[in-house]
């Protein structure tokens, strides 16, 4: 095992709550789910003209390589109804790898840590629920530190545990 992998899940189409729960259950086929954050309702970022998202973070233990895990996650998204019509547009489910143990991956199709995670409250708030002390290996900052350093903005509301 390479350690714990942290994922960000989001949905803003259909039954968002069910979409997240279905994705969390399906992740058991990729590895062993260790923890799930609270669910958060979040305003869209980058492409604002769409419905608000429901987001959470998941810790998973897996023997897969980062590249193989990404391939499995993309397959899982398709099985759960994800259609890629607009890069940052509405989606039934979106699953991103945030951190993969202490690894840094800089490939053409995969970058870990996620290159925008340190700028996104909708990623850091849920991740802080389950991994506040996890360290960003390239920035040498904890999730809690990165969250505290974010400027105001990006509405993120915790719904429940």
Instruction: Return the active site residues.
Output: 82, 91, 94, 96
Q: Confirm if 38 and 20 have CB atoms less than 8 A apart.
A: no
Q: What is the CA 11 to chain-centroid distance, rounded?
A: 11
CA-to-CA dists, residue 47 to 9, 15, 51, 130, angstroms: 17, 20, 10, 27
Cα torsion 22, 27, 29, 35: sign:
negative
């Amino acid at each position: 095992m390479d350690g714990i992998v942290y994922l960000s899940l989001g949905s803003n189409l259909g039954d968002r709550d069910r979409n997240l729960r279905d994705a969390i259950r399906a992740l058991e086929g990729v590895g062993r789910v260790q923890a799930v954050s609270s669910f958060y309702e979040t305003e869209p970022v980058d492409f604002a003209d769409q419905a608000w998202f429901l987001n959470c973070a998941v810790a998973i233990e897996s023997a897969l390589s980062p590249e193989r895990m990404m391939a499995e996650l993309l397959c899982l998204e398709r099985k759960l109804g994800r259609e890629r019509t607009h890069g940052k547009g509405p989606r039934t489910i979106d699953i991103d790898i945030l951190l993969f143990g202490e690894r840094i991956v800089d490939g053409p199709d995969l970058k870990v840590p996620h290159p925008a995670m340190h700028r996104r409250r909708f990623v850091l708030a849920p991740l802080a629920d389950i991994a506040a002390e996890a360290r960003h290996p390239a920035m040498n900052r904890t999730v809690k530190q990165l969250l505290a350093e974010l400027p105001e903005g990006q509405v993120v509301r915790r719904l429940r545990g």
